[in-house]
Amino acid sequence: MRAEWRQAGPGHWQLIGGVGLETVTGLLALPEADGGRLRIDWSRVDALDSTAVALMIEWLRQARRAGIELRFSGRPPALDNLLEVFDLRAPLADLLA
């Protein structure tokens, strides 16, 4: 499994590949925000496990500490299912575009 970032615009990053135990270390740092805003697009993620949920929460912590407004878009159905299983859809609703 591989994962990489691709900048789609200022403060807009696409996550490409798989998000799991094998790739999480390379994804821990938030990509560059623009004007205090950052959008992470999950639409090109082709594989994931519960590590993806932990990664989202870690990014949220980092964003809050840095004063960055973080949003997630293009979530695959598997990620939405995990958020539902962990009862996190409501607490994260403001971040889910």
Of 62 and 90, the structure prediction assigns the larger pLDDT to: 62
Domain of 71? 3-95
The pLDDT value recorded for residue 95 is 74
The pLDDT value recorded for residue 15 is 97
- Return the number of other C-beta atoms located less than 10 Å from residue 95's C-beta: 17
Torsion, CA 10, CA 37, CA 13, CA 78, rounded to 10 = -160
Q: Which residues of 63-78 are buried (b: 16+ CB within 10 A; e: fewer)?
A: beeeebebbbeebbeb
Give the count of domains, the chain.
1
Tokens representing 82? 């995990």
97 pLDDT higher than 70: no
- pLDDT for 23-61, tens place per residue? 999 999 999 999 999 999 999 999 999 999 999 999 999
Average pLDDT over residues 63-82: 94
The pLDDT value recorded for residue 1 is 85
Phi, psi of 25 (to 5 degrees): -60, -40
**What CATH number is associated with residue 42?**
3.30.750.24
Q: What average pLDDT is seen over the chain?
A: 93
What is this structure's pTM? 0.90
* CB within 8 Å of 97: residues ≥ 6 apart: 39, 71, 72, 73
